[in-house]
Chains A and B, each alone.
Chain A
């Protein structure tokens, strides 16, 4: 960064002109597709509006209060929270384990990295369809597989509890590769002298993990956990595809926040209500982000 003064000299004027001209289109796009919609979300959330009529009565916080007494919203919030933390619970320990096992470069490392990373780049709809077929109660291979161990076939996508589990399973599968790569970078950045010293002292692999890897990986562990939970709170596509069938009743088995929001907005035309729901989602994300910032600031 050049420490030029912020005075309007002829030289500065030329540079500023370029900076402003270059940034104007970018800023204009930002205003139209980010800033205005974000402000609008807040504004609309205080009104009752059905998308068509000219009347828009001001409601104050009525939408927010109404949501807290709305069964569908509360179920969605509960399901989404269970799913988000379920994904955290499954994906983070597994991806950490894989990363630890992969930390020392081995012959097949590139192959493993590719295989674990494949679900990350796959788009959600085909990935979900592959799982939908595997989880199919009647013809799916999963029921056949658990049959070998004496379990009876389970209605994975029909029973609400199992359906929540299925969403967690498939979402964890999809995110493990991403988390693994971030952990892998973190582990490889730990100076090898720590491990060498530990080996001389006769520390076992497990002791090395508990006393060196885990403490030094804490910030990355937190980062991965927080982004896993944040991204999981937006869960929608999986649920839409898993639960939709020929009868066209998607989302009734597992109701999640974004699904409930879209339904309030576009099926019942309760724009204010849906916007208040969006603000709740934002508040959750902000709290999670703040946890991360506070922790990182305390460290440095």
Chain B
């Protein structure tokens, strides 16, 4: 009896020790991984504030010895970075507004209206959603050229006016959260369809629409391939394109390149830190709906 009790006790102690040990090691692995994930950002930030001499000094240090703003001055005096940021902002804002409008109306109509051609339209949106942008960007470029949209802001923005996923996302939300009776009640009261959409439906969709809006904004801000194809005049570059070409002229000036990176990434990171919870939850939601 007593022998058995000791063993049980020993097992329990060992288990408690194990859980404590595994908890500590789990924490250590997570922390180490997380530090590796943010290291490139810290490095970029630190380099942006270093003097040229310190950047090239060996061994490198994470905290700048004598912080300087010279690199940021170089960025704004040698390149129209303010203009590039403005272009990115115009692209992202216009794209977001357009995607919200088109997704809301199309998502609502596809969810609540039964009309001839509904299924065909749904299939068109689904089928084109699978095709990556890179596959059809050449003909898109040719169309833009024919319409005289090369080197114009509308040309940069045009491909980002709709988002297939946005339409599906709103459609799902309407189906899940808006009862038919609500729409019927409006109709019985004699309200027009447009009024019902604008005054009854839209206010109920603020949650999903703001999640979608954050995505649309970040997606547009991060675009690179299309803006780089359709622009060749410095004043029309977005922050992404401008930075990519800016760095080719400053191969050895890591300070200026890092400062430029910090400037172009700052707006999107501010949005991320302000809306961190919604963004991560949004990905969790959308990813599973694919």
Partner-contacting stretch, out of B28-36, B68-76, B204-212: B28-36
Q: How far is the CA of A51 from the CA of B272 in the complex (A)?
A: 42
Q: Which residues of B contact A131 (CB under 8 A)?
A: 40
The majority secondary structure among interface residues of chain B is helix
CB pair B248–A245 under 8 Å, yes or no, is yes
What CA separation (Å) do A38 and B257 show in the bound complex?
Answer: 37
A23 engages B222 (CB within 8 Å): no
State whether B135 touches A129 (Cβ < 8 A).
no
> Are A129 and B290 in contact, with the CB atoms below 8 A?
no
CA distance A26 to B100 in the complex (A): 12
Q: Is A92 an interface residue (CB 8 A)?
A: no
- Select from chain A the residue with minimum beta-carbon distance to B290: A223
Bound form: Cα–Cα A120–B282 in Å: 13
Interface residue tally of chain B, by bracket? Answer: 35 or more
Determine, out of A13-21, A55-63, A210-218, the stretch whose residues face the partner at the interface. A13-21
In-complex Cβ contact of A35 among B26, B116, B128, B290 (8 A)? B128
Q: Which residues of A contact B38 (CB under 8 A)?
A: 115, 118
Given contacts A40-B142, A41-B135, A121-B279, contact A176 B37 (CB under 8 A): yes
**In the complex with contacts A33-B158, A126-B265, A130-B44, A246-B128 CB distance below 8 A:** no
Whether, in the assembled complex, A253 has its beta carbon less than 8 Å from a beta carbon of chain B, the answer is no
- Interchain CA distance A93-B35 in the complex, whole Å: 18
Q: Please indicate which of the listed interface residues A19, A98, A220 has the most CB atoms of chain B within 10 Å of its own CB.
A: A19
Cβ–Cβ < 8 Å partners of A86 in chain B: none
Contact A29:B132 (CB < 8 A) given known A112-B34, A245-B248: no
B131 touches A126 (CB 8 A): no
Contacts of A110 in B (CB 8 A): 276
Report the count of interface residues on A (CB-CB < 8 A): 103
Residue among A34, A41, A185, A230 facing the most chain B CB atoms (10 A cut-off): A34
**Interface flags, B168-188, vs A, CB<8A=1, else 0:** 000000010000100000000
User: Within 8 Å of chain B (Cβ to Cβ): is A117?
Assistant: yes
- The verdict on A68 contacting chain B, using a C-beta distance below 8 Å, is no
Q: Is the CB of A32 within 8 A of B143?
A: yes
Nearest-CB distance from A73 to chain B (Å)?
15
Q: Are B37 and A177 in contact (CB under 8 A)?
A: yes
Among A160-168, A190-198, A234-242, which stretch is in contact with chain B? A234-242
Instruction: Determine whether the beta carbon of B134 is less than 8 Å from that of A258.
Output: yes
Cβ contacts under 8 Å, A285 to chain B: 130-132, 135
A15 touches B113 (CB 8 A): yes
B128 to A, closest residue via Cβ: A34
Chain A residues near B33: list those with CB within 8 A: 94, 98, 116
In angstroms, Cα B224 to Cα A129, docked, is 14
**Neighbouring B residues of A173 by C-beta, 8 Å:** 37, 40
A139-B254 CB under 8 A given contacts A121-B269, A124-B240? yes
A44 located at the interface, meaning its Cβ lies under 8 Å from any Cβ of chain B in the complex = yes
State whether the Cβ of A266 lies closer than 8 Å to any Cβ in chain B: yes
Q: A30-B124, A33-B162, A182-B283 are in contact. Are A234 and B134 (CB under 8 A)?
A: yes
- The answer to the question of A96 belonging to the interface, with a C-beta cut-off of 8 Å to chain B, is no
**Nearest chain A CB to B41 CB, angstrom units:** 7
Tell me the smallest distance from the CB of A41 to a CB of chain B, in Å.
5
Instruction: Tell me if B30 and A102 are in contact (CB < 8 A).
Output: yes
* A140 to B206 Cα, complex, angstroms: 47
> B218 interface residue, CB < 8 Å from A?
yes
Contact between A33 and B159, CB atoms less than 8 A apart: yes
| Known contacts A38-B139, A121-B268, then 9 further A-B pairs from the complex at CB < 8 Å, ordered by chain A residue | A16-B116, A118-B269, A121-B272, A126-B44, A132-B247, A173-B40, A181-B287, A278-B134, A286-B130
A-B contact pairs, 28 of them (CB 8 A): A16-B116, A18-B109, A32-B143, A34-B131, A34-B162, A38-B135, A40-B143, A41-B135, A101-B26, A113-B280, A115-B35, A115-B37, A118-B272, A122-B269, A123-B265, A125-B264, A130-B258, A133-B44, A133-B258, A134-B39, A139-B58, A173-B40, A237-B224, A244-B244, A258-B134, A281-B135, A282-B132, A285-B135
Q: List 6 tightest A-B contacts by C-beta distance, closest first.
A: A40-B139, A126-B261, A18-B193, A37-B136, A130-B40, A115-B34
